[in-house]
Copies of this chain bind each other. A is one copy, B any other.
Amino acid sequence: MSEMRCRALIFIGDGLGDRPVAEFGGKTPLEYEPTPNLDEIAARGECGLMDPISPGRRAGSDTAHFAILGYDPQKTYTGRGPLEAMGVGLEVQRGDLGFRCNFATAEEQADGVLLVTDRRAGRIAEGTREIADAVNAIPPIDGIRFILEPSVEHRAALVMRGPSLDPHVTDADPHEENLPVHQVEAKAPEAEATAKALNEWVRRTYEVLKGHPVNVARAQAGQKPANVVLPRGCGIAPHLRPFAEEHGTSGALVVEVGLIKGLGRYLGMTVLDAPGATGGYDTDHISLAKTALEALDQAQIVLCNLKAPDLAGHDGLAQRKCETVAKLDEAAGVILHGVDLSSTVVAFTGDHSTPVSVRDHSGDPLPIAIAGHGVRPDEVRAFGERPCGAGNLGRIRGRDIMPILTNLIEIQEKFGA
């Protein structure tokens, strides 16, 4: 092994991959837009196509990043609840249960039943922090702590933490209005204590919130009160080995999306915020790239994600996607001129395709180019879906990326003798 300490940087264009666009003569935005810096990385590196999960499978940003960070989402991804909690900044620990929640409006009936009259509490926009604080003052139930964190509008995430929790419980959310709050049921005998505590907590959120000042003010303004919290989509926080244990070195994230930040924290990675990085079209992509370069001083492996291409894909805007590709290329220029490729490996790819013609994630493979220390450059000279298909990396999977990088930077344990 080399004594020199090499580093690796994975730069992800979120939703980068695309399909042929008629107005671009059948080229994809990435093939159509000039990308001199990405092309230089392709020319100096080894290229290929990457399936986040496996050929043809449509990935979410979460499952794709699981895979790119070296974990098998098919074994470890148990549902969105825990990731949602990570995404809003809650600290999630192994064995915690995670839920998505709504602040809702309930009316207590004569028999004590809570009838849900608005699942979104009139799309409440303000006051949810105060409401969540009040709910978080509810003491533990049967030794189980409940931690609620508000998100956008009526949305929130909940973590349940305690002994003997089991995720096999139904939702408290009735999913339709003018139905009673659903009594949470255990789908397995092991989940009975979890269901009981959860029902008790939902009832207490009503007791705590029905007279809360935010709701009193809402009533005076003719708005619906947010007087109950309805959890759904329970999942258990997966048993993932921390990044440093899994890969034998330190990792850092410079990303704009809360969900991925939460995943990074869960894996014990350093999570850095880039000044001016908004997660929108207006993001400061240069700041993002510079922060990624700085992160290489703090961690041996850095993953950076530029969200904008995914937005343009979801919005179905081909020209706009080209603009985000141009931003990605400028960021690549900052990286290219900020690292020493004799001691650093850089990989450029996406987490999944979001074709403008589909307006959603697709299962089409992504181009990938890897340049720097130890790489055997191939004949590919342009970074794009089809040029990279001719490269020597061939068709790899998201889960292959970390082994390829830890091999190149010479820190990987040998399998065998």
Contact = CB atoms under 8 A, between A and B. Distances in A.
Nearest to A410: B358
Contacts of A174: none
Nearest to A67: B416
Interface in A379-417: 379, 385-386, 389-397, 400-408, 410, 412-417
Contacts of A116: none
Given A1-B360, A404-B363, A414 B58 contact: yes
How many chain A residues sit at the interface, stated as a range, is 35 or more
Tell me how many chains of this kind the complex includes: 2
B407 A362 contact: yes
B416 A62 contact: yes
Contacts of A405: 56
A21 to B, nearest CB: 11
Contacts of A66: 416
A407 B56 CA distance: 6
A53 B66 CA distance: 21
A405 B389 CA distance: 19
Given A56-B408, A63-B415, A376-B385, 12 more contacts: A1-B360, A49-B392, A54-B400, A55-B404, A56-B404, A58-B407, A63-B417, A77-B416, A84-B417, A362-B410, A390-B392, A394-B395
A364 to B, nearest CB: 7
A268 B395 CA distance: 33
A392 B362 CA distance: 17
| Residue from A54, A400, A405, A415 with most neighbouring chain B CB atoms (10 Å) | A415
Interface string A80-118: 100110000000000000000000000000000000000
A385 B391 CA distance: 12
Which 9 interchain pairs have the tightest Cβ spacing?
A60-B416, A56-B403, A63-B416, A389-B392, A394-B395, A363-B407, A56-B404, A55-B400, A60-B417
B414 A28 contact: no
Nearest to A413: B58
Interface string A346-366: 000000000101111111100
Given A49-B394, A62-B416, A403 B363 contact: yes
A59 interface: yes
A36 interface: no
B400 A389 contact: no
Interface string A18-62: 011000001010000000000000000000010001111111111
Contacts of A391: 389
B363 A57 contact: no
A57 to B, nearest CB: 5
Contacts of A401: 56
Nearest to A362: B407
Interface in A304-337: none
Interface in A184-206: none
Contact of A415 (B2, B73, B364, B417): B73
A374 interface: yes
Contacts of A28: 376
A389 B378 contact: yes
A259 interface: yes
A97 to B, nearest CB: 17
A64 interface: yes
A248 to B, nearest CB: 12
